[in-house]
Amino acid sequence: MPLRRLLYALIFAAAANAALAQTYPNRPIRLVVPAPPGGTIDPISRILGEGLNKLYGQNVIIDNRPGANFNVGMDIVAKSQPDGYTLVVASSGALATNIHLYRSLPFHPVNSFEHIVLYGNVPNVLVVHPSLPVKTLAEFTAHVKANPGKFNFGSTGNGSSMHLAGELYKSMSGTQMTHVPYVSPAAATQDLLAGRTQLMFQLMTGIAQFVRADKVRGIAVLSPKRSSALPDLPTTAEAGMKGLESSAWFGILAPKDTPRDIVEKLNRDINTLIAEPAFNKRLIEFGVEPMGGSVRDFQRYLEAEIKKWGDVVRASGAKLD
């Protein structure tokens, strides 16, 4: 193609995309949730759907597509029409750890999507059964070192944020503990409450109520800042272990080659929603720390998370196929 024709084609495509963004959306949006109803990702997706519905005046259809540790829903979106009318709320597990846990995936977390915006973050919290004679992270580490291999920590399964948070702690502290995988967070939490396991690196949304009720003892939140859900609980950095950070975070994505103007519009509009006091409050009350930021912020964050958790997964030996 001659250079002049190529330039005309590029100009025409840019103009077409800009015009498309001006009229977007003019029909319902499908918001895929790669998990079943319940848990954390489904309700925060519905909060987002309600916000976009009010903002755009278009229905946002929540489409739960669970299976294969988020991979089924992610693959559906990766292969959908890149027109801005199919989006997905993806977790850190789907984007940053599954690529290391599976020998192959039908999609790539970086190359198969347009990364719109970071949505929210749910930190892991180190909690212990009240029978353990520890109140601080330093006391906990000293106690575990004095009793190598005698403590069990529960999680929702190999490769989950709860599991990998424990593995990260072990590698940083030089301690020995046994990982006990469960089929659900509720089952793991119940065994902790009953004293059948001694500790967890549970997610804030699943454990804050039990910390407030003194049924478990909070030691530290694995986050760079304190959580509004448990504001008196120190961060791991404040407790003397900088770098011990783990969370389940969530981002909004679209299929690769979704027009850039639509991606940028969605980024601006979702950032606007996140900044609204009422919307922001709903996330915080659910135990989610709102995030936001630019498209590039999301890309840089994802790249760093993929590298970080790849190192942890390799050290743990965890595999799911």
The domains of the chain are located at 3-121+248-316, 123-221
Contact present, 35 and 66 (Cβ < 8 Å): yes
Question: DSSP H helical segments within the chain, as ranges?
Answer: 3-23, 41-56, 71-78, 92, 98-101, 137-146, 161-173, 185-193, 204-212, 260-275, 277-285, 295-316
| Class for the domain spanning 123-221 | alpha beta
Query: Quick one: fold of 3-121+248-316?
Result: D-Maltodextrin-Binding Protein; domain 2 (3.40.190)
Contact present, 136 and 219 (Cβ < 8 Å): yes
Give the pTM: 0.87
Assess whether pLDDT exceeds 90 at residue 14.
Answer: no
- Segment 220-239 shows an average pLDDT of 95
pLDDT at residue 285 in the model: 85
pLDDT at residue 98 in the model: 96
Identical topology for domains 3-121+248-316 and 123-221: yes
Please state at what angle helix 137-146 crosses helix 161-173, rounded to 10 degrees.
80
pLDDT in tens, 89-111: 999 999 999 999 999 999 999 99
